[in-house]
Amino acid sequence: MAAAPTSKPGAVHFWLIAFVMATLILLVTTIMFAKNHGEALAIADAAKKDQSTTQAALTNTLADTEALKSLLGLNQAEVGSGNPPPANSVREAGVRDLATFGLDLSQPNYTATLGAMRARLDALNEENKQLKASLQSEKDTFLAARTGDGNRVATFKTDKEKSEGDLTNLVKERDELVRQKDAEIAKWQQSYRTQQVESEQVRDELARVTKEMSDRISRLNKIVDFQRKQLDDLQNFSFDVPDARVTNVDNTRGTVWLSVGRKDGLRTQVTFSIYGKSNQGIARGPEDVKAKIEIVEVSDTSSIGRIVDEDRDRPVGIGDVAFSPAWSAGLKEYFAFVGDGDLNGDGVMDARDRKMLKDLLNNAGADIDVEITPDGERIPAEAVLSVHTKWLVVGDVGDPSLYAVDAAKRTQILAVQKQHDALVQEAREHGIKIVSLKDFLTYLGWKPESRLYIPGSDTKFNLKAGARSTGVNTPLESDRSSTGSTSKSMMKTKK
Q: How far is CA 376 from CA 341, 347, 373, 413, in A?
A: 15, 22, 5, 7
Q: Residues 271, 294: contact at Cβ < 8 Å? A: yes
Tell me what pLDDT residue 224 has: 67
HEC assignment per residue over the chain:
CCCCCCCCCCHHHHHHHHHHHHHHHHHHHHHHHHHHHHHHHHHHHHHHHHHHHHHHHHHHHHHHHHHHHHHHCCCCCECCCCCCCCCCEHHHHHHHHHHHHHHHHCCCCHHHHHHHHHHHHHHHHHHHHHHHHHHHHHHHHHHHHHHHHHHHHHHHHHHHHHHHHHHHHHHHHHHHHHHHHHHHHHHHHHHHHHHHHHHHHHHHHHHHHHHHHHHHHHHHHHHHHHHHHHHHHHCCCCCCCCCEEEEEEECCCCEEEECCCHHHCCCCCCEEEEECCCCCCCCCCHHHCCEEEEEEEECCCCEEEEEEEECCCCCCCCCCEEECCCEECCEECEEEEECECCCCCCCCCCHHHHHHHHHHHHHCCCEEEEEECCCCCEECCCCCCCCCEEEEEECECCCHHHHCCCHHHHHHHHHHHHHHHHHHHHHHHHCCEEEEHHHHHHHHCCCCCCCCCCCCCCCCCECCCCCECCCCCCECCCCCECCCCCCHHHCCCCC
User: What distance in Å separates the CA atoms of residue 58 and residue 440, rounded to the nearest whole number?
Assistant: 136
Please give the CATH architecture assigned to the domain spanning 243-324. Answer: Beta Barrel (2.40)
Closest residue by Cα to residue 372 from 344, 348, 342, 340: 340
Tell me what pLDDT residue 226 has: 64
User: What distance in Å separates the CA atoms of residue 447 and residue 306, rounded to the nearest whole number?
Assistant: 12
Lateral strand order in the sheet of 378-379: 378-379, 367-372, 334-338, 389-394, 433-436
SS3 390: strand
Tell me what pLDDT residue 387 has: 86
User: What distance in Å separates the CA atoms of residue 370 and residue 352, rounded to the nearest whole number?
Assistant: 19
SS3 63: helix
Predicted TM-score of the model (pTM): 0.48
Q: Residues 113, 105: contact at Cβ < 8 Å? A: yes
Q: Give the pLDDT of the chain (495 residues) as one tens digit per residue.
A: 455 555 666 777 788 888 888 888 988 888 888 888 888 888 888 888 888 888 888 888 878 777 877 777 777 777 777 777 777 787 778 777 777 777 676 677 777 888 888 888 888 899 898 999 989 988 888 888 888 888 888 888 888 888 888 888 888 888 888 988 888 898 888 888 888 888 888 888 888 888 878 777 777 766 766 666 555 554 444 567 899 999 999 988 999 999 999 999 999 999 999 999 887 778 778 888 999 999 999 999 999 999 999 998 999 999 999 999 999 988 899 999 999 988 877 778 888 989 999 999 999 999 999 999 999 999 998 989 988 899 999 999 999 999 989 999 999 999 999 999 999 999 988 889 999 999 999 998 888 754 444 444 444 444 433 333 333 333 344 444 444 444 433 444 433
